[in-house]
Structure 1
Amino acid sequence: MPDKFVFADEAGCFTFNRDQNVSRFFVLCTVVMNDCRVATDLLELRRRLAWDGAELGEYFHATTDKQDVRNAVFDVIRRHEFKVQATIMEKSKAQPQVKETKPTFYQYGYFYHFKFGVSRLLGPASETLVTTASLGTRKEKVAFEGAVSDVMRQTNGSRQWKADFMPCHSDPCLQVADYCAWAIQRKWERDDTRSYDLISDRISYEYDLWARGTTHYY
């Protein structure tokens, strides 16, 4: 059994222009946990909210949840120990070869994300299960696995890890990653830190990947 659990999600769209309702940033987000007990508490919260007549979607999803539901979810999340890592990618600074395909974009971002944000939280002999919300295509899954595999091999070859892909509604821990990604994106896109402030003490890594870049490609 693994002794570390990493749940990954992202925020932002894969559209490269300045049209209305197109995100400026693409945010890669992971949550590292030693156990998954938060999942039990989120399921219990779901049952309680349903009993109380709250307006709910099919699962906790920060973008569409009502504010009172978000408040309750963040309250439960904050009772548990975890670390959050975020890589911020300002899409207009992505070089043409980086954004040529979605798998290429994923692999580029996740390689740096795991190398500098996640790997230092894993012990040299750790056994890690990396779960991400289902990616759209087989190529995207291969790109994700390739990025993580490269990092694990380069930083410590003795680490054991496995990747798993599932819909966000299938695991409440993925919903934790969704909420954290959403909160971080709100900060960067809208300068809205209300939700970000609730998890800021859990953030171990938040890096603007192209902060030093000066060229915008659109």
Structure 2
Amino acid sequence: MRLLIVEDEKRLALSLARGLTAEGFAVDVVHDGTEGLHRASEGSYDLIVLDIMLPGMNGYRVCGALRAAGSDVPVLMLTAKDGEYDEAEGLDTGADDYLTKPFSYVVLLARVRALLRRRARTASPVLSVGELSVDTATRRVTLEDTEVTLTAKEFSVLEHLALRAGEVVSKSEILEHVWDFAYDGDPNIVEVYISALRRKLGAQTIGTVRGAGYRLVADRA
């Protein structure tokens, strides 16, 4: 999944990006509100971590502009401010959650995952496709009750396919959601990870729709 961090404290932004990348997310970072709004409007993100006190345009205005444009991407607001009025203003502009600095990274990660599960419109963090089970909370994968060990990037590719189980997902969409904005390598990297997943989960688990993309299927026969 692809996240956007809009945070002008560069050390904090870098720390968050490193942590979230290690968890398997694709992460883009910008340091001012104007660029944040532009990137959020032009890109395809699963969640935005948005600071309130930003140069160019504050977080309230960025969030308000996104909602006015019809964007429903989850927004987790960060701020050094404290108090119920600041929180209320953030939520009133359309933010989905609010976290006051200083905060625990573990708590931020839990909030991010909760918002992503909510957006997926599933009451359970577990995505089941036939005998395959993908737990988005614990990042565990089981196949026929046997746990399968995946790398962080392998899990991210599988998770995106599982969220769209039965549908055809293009290579470009996988790149967009699993690799960050700065990636300019070979787009065939997707095929490398699909091949790795097929070796671990079975060749029939992920089907190829020629000229269109890939599809996670329940029937592995």
| Superposition TM-score, scaled by structure 1 size | 0.28
| Superposition TM-score, scaled by structure 2 size | 0.27
Larger Rg: 2
